[in-house]
Amino acid sequence: MSRIDGCKRALLVVALVGTAGCGDGPTALSTSTLDSARARWLSSGIRDYDFEYRQQCECGSAFSDAAIVEVRQGRVAAVRYRDSGQPAAATDRGLFPTVDDLFARIEDAIRRNAASLTVTYDTRWGYPTRIDIDYDVQVADDEISIDASALTPR
């Protein structure tokens, strides 16, 4: 294979990875994939919804248990832990994201050139259902995994 054919093949792979990711499977992320998913979310017009949220990281116990996040008019209105039914402390409520915040987290990881970023999107509404970020492979405990599921419009 010539050097030019090898370059064309490499560009094709980059183009395919850059346009993938609107389905249920995980994918390496590009800005165009993020923009496409965000456009689907915005076109849904959903501003009041509940969803299940869980974040796995070295970032404190407020996120380690699955929680139901209630969003009204695009803002977190209430948070309760799924298994116990207990509300999150008022001081912790602001730490839980909306779907728009999840998109911002992805955008931030892209901007910061995260070493690894994998996102899975909901096929119907486009919101992120799984986000895995490793900002620096040389740094321990900077990885974040986020699950967002069971979104129910209200």
Secondary structure (DSSP) of 70-134: EEETTEEEEEEETTT-PBPPHHHHTTS--HHHHHHHHHHHHHTT-SEEEEEE-TTT--EEEEEEE
Cβ density class 96-129: b for 16+ within 10 Å, e for less: bbbbbebbebbeebbeeebeebbbbbbeebbbbb
Dihedrals phi, psi of 38, to nearest 5 degrees: -65, -40
Using alpha carbons, select from 73, 74, 65 the residue that is nearest to residue 92: 65
Torsion of CA 112, 115, 116, 121, to 10 degrees: 10
Residue 140, number of CB atoms within 10 A of its CB: 8
Answer whether 47's CB lies under 8 Å from 77's CB.
Answer: no
Q: Is the whole-model pTM more than 0.85?
A: no
Q: 61: helix, coil or strand?
A: helix
CATH topology of domain 3-153: outer membrane lipoprotein receptor (LolB), chain A (2.50.20)
The domain segmentation of the chain, as residue ranges, is: 3-153
Q: What is the pLDDT along the chain (154 residues), one digit of tens a residue?
A: 444 444 333 333 333 333 333 444 444 456 888 999 999 999 999 999 999 999 987 766 556 789 999 999 999 999 999 999 999 988 888 889 999 999 999 999 999 999 999 999 999 999 999 999 999 888 877 889 999 999 999 9
